[in-house]
């Protein structure tokens, strides 16, 4: 059997799936950021017309899938699968948001790497001939995440300098076996990496080692380096995590300073909006990818993009018990043109 594997963690897709359509939704803070023009919908209402913040997050997922379907001229019945998740216990933001669509559903939890995880699995399903159309999506909400992982928002606790702002946002990307691109050419599955960080207010430091591990594995397996991509974007490492990844590669003699950035640095004005170390949450990388990044590929701003969202695999229980914070990162390589065809 012909193998598509390139190394331990990377798969080269022989039939690169195409991005068929994409959409994103954000809240008030996202509308005040530098990428506001790249959103399909922005809402000043944190409840999104619902009674609770959790219901509001579900409403974001419902709306963003409908918007992506509409932009692609598709119906829910044409999707073979939807792969999605969020940060809430049992992924209720996703399950309640998508329950009315009646689409075959895989619920995922990769923390803030979920956009990369869902894209990777959707691409593998399509490349393998197991699906023609699949939606990959995720969301996060500042108020629901803060209440679950740190402190209830009304408590007004002081944020540390390393803290990041959980995005109130959702993004959806529909992949297909046919389309005009951009195309997913490679996926690199991350490994769980834990360097002993225990501070739940320092997600960048906890996730940076996983980003370094996955990017290094991808470069090795594909015989590429940073110079082979127009842009490399990790997911919500923020200011500190981005610097850690840059420093780790510098120790290897690899220069990441020319074309490497992070979704947590792109979504907000860090100083003007008082974001401390930057943005975070599943919705951060999902909103940046399904707006700014994919539009840039389609408009010719970049030809090759490496998207590598990261996640912190903690829970309130593990934090209360003094556990360290494992990290994960999944990388997806995209090309504006179909390569090797």
pLDDT tens per residue, range 276-288: 778 888 999 999 9
- Position with higher pLDDT, 179 vs 319: 179
Fold of 183-335: Peroxisomal Thiolase; Chain A, domain 1 (3.40.47)
What are the φ and ψ backbone dihedral angles of 29, each rounded to 5 degrees? -65, -35
pLDDT band of 132, cuts 50, 70, 90: very high
Return the structure tokens found at 228.
Answer: 């082979």
As a whole number of Å, the end-to-end CA separation of the chain is: 21
Distance of alpha carbon 269 from alpha carbon 256, whole angstroms? 22
Write down the mean pLDDT value for the chain: 92
Q: What's the number of CA atoms in the CB half-sphere (13 Å) around residue 232?
A: 25
pLDDT band of 1, cuts 50, 70, 90: very low
The answer to whether the peptide bond before residue 59 is cis (omega within 30 degrees of 0) is no
Task: Look up the pTM and report it.
Answer: 0.94
The beta-strand segments (E) located in 43-197 are: 81-85, 105-107, 133-140, 165-166, 169-176, 183-188
Q: Is 253 left (phi over 0), alpha (psi -120 to 50) or beta?
A: left
**Contact yes or no for 29/46 (Cβ under 8 A):** no
**pLDDT at position 188:** 98
3-state percent helix, strand, coil for the chain, nearest multiple of 5? 40, 20, 40
pLDDT tens per residue, range 223-264: 999 999 999 999 899 989 999 999 999 999 999 999 999 999
- Position with higher pLDDT, 187 vs 322: 187
Percent of the chain with pLDDT over 70: 93
Pairing of strands 183-188, 165-166: unpaired
- pLDDT, mean of residues 299-323: 93
**pLDDT at position 7:** 87
Q: Reply yes or no on domain 17-176 having CATH 3.30.413.10.
A: no
What three-state secondary structure class fits 123? Answer: helix
**Is the alpha carbon torsion for 296, 301, 304, 306 positive or negative?**
negative
Pairing of strands 10-12, 169-176: unpaired
**pLDDT at position 6:** 87
17-176 and 183-335 in the same fold: yes
pLDDT band of 154, cuts 50, 70, 90: low
Return the structure tokens found at 26.
Answer: 């954000």
Q: Who contacts 147 (Cβ-Cβ below 8 Å, separation ≥6)?
A: 53, 153
**pLDDT at position 224:** 97
Instruction: Identify the DSSP state of 89.
Output: G
Return the structure tokens found at 163.
Answer: 């803290």
Q: Who contacts 55 (Cβ-Cβ below 8 Å, separation ≥6)?
A: 47, 48, 96
Domain boundaries, the chain: 17-176, 183-335
């Amino acid at each position: 059997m012909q193998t598509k594997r390139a190394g331990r963690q990377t798969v080269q897709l022989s039939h690169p799936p195409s991005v068929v359509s994409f959409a994103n939704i954000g809240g008030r803070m996202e509308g005040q950021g530098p990428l506001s023009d790249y959103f399909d919908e922005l809402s000043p209402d944190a409840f999104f017309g619902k009674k609770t913040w959790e219901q509001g997050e579900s409403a974001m997922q419902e709306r963003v899938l409908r918007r992506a379907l509409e932009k692609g001229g598709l119906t829910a019945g044409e999707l073979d699968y939807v792969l999605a998740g969020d940060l809430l216990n049992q992924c209720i933001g996703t399950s309640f948001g998508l329950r009315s669509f009646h689409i075959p559903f895989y619920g995922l939890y990769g923390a803030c790497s979920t956009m990369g995880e869902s894209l990777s699995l959707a691409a593998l399903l399509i490349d393998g001939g197991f699906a023609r159309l699949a939606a990959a999506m995720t969301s996060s909400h500042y108020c629901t995440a803060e209440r679950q992982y740190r402190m209830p928002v009304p408590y007004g606790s002081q944020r540390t300098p390393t803290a990041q702002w959980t995005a109130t946002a959702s993004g959806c990307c529909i992949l297909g076996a046919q389309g005009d691109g951009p195309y997913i050419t490679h996926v690199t599955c991350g490994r769980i990496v834990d360097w002993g960080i225990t501070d739940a207010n320092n997600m960048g430091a906890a996730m940076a080692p996983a980003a370094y591990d996955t990017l290094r594995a991808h470069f090795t397996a594909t015989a590429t380096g940073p110079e082979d991509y127009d842009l490399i974007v990790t997911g919500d490492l923020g200011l500190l995590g981005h610097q850690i990844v840059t420093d780790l590669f510098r120790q290897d003699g690899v220069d990441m300073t020319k074309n490497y950035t992070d979704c947590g640095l792109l979504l907000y004005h860090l100083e003007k909006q008082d974001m401390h170390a930057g943005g975070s949450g599943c919705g951060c990388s999902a909103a940046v990818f399904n707006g700014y990044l994919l539009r840039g590929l389609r408009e010719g701003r970049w030809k090759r993009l490496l998207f590598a969202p990261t996640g912190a695999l903690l829970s309130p229980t593990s934090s209360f018990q003094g556990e360290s914070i494992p990290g994960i990162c999944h990388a997806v390589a995209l090309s504006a043109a179909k390569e090797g065809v």
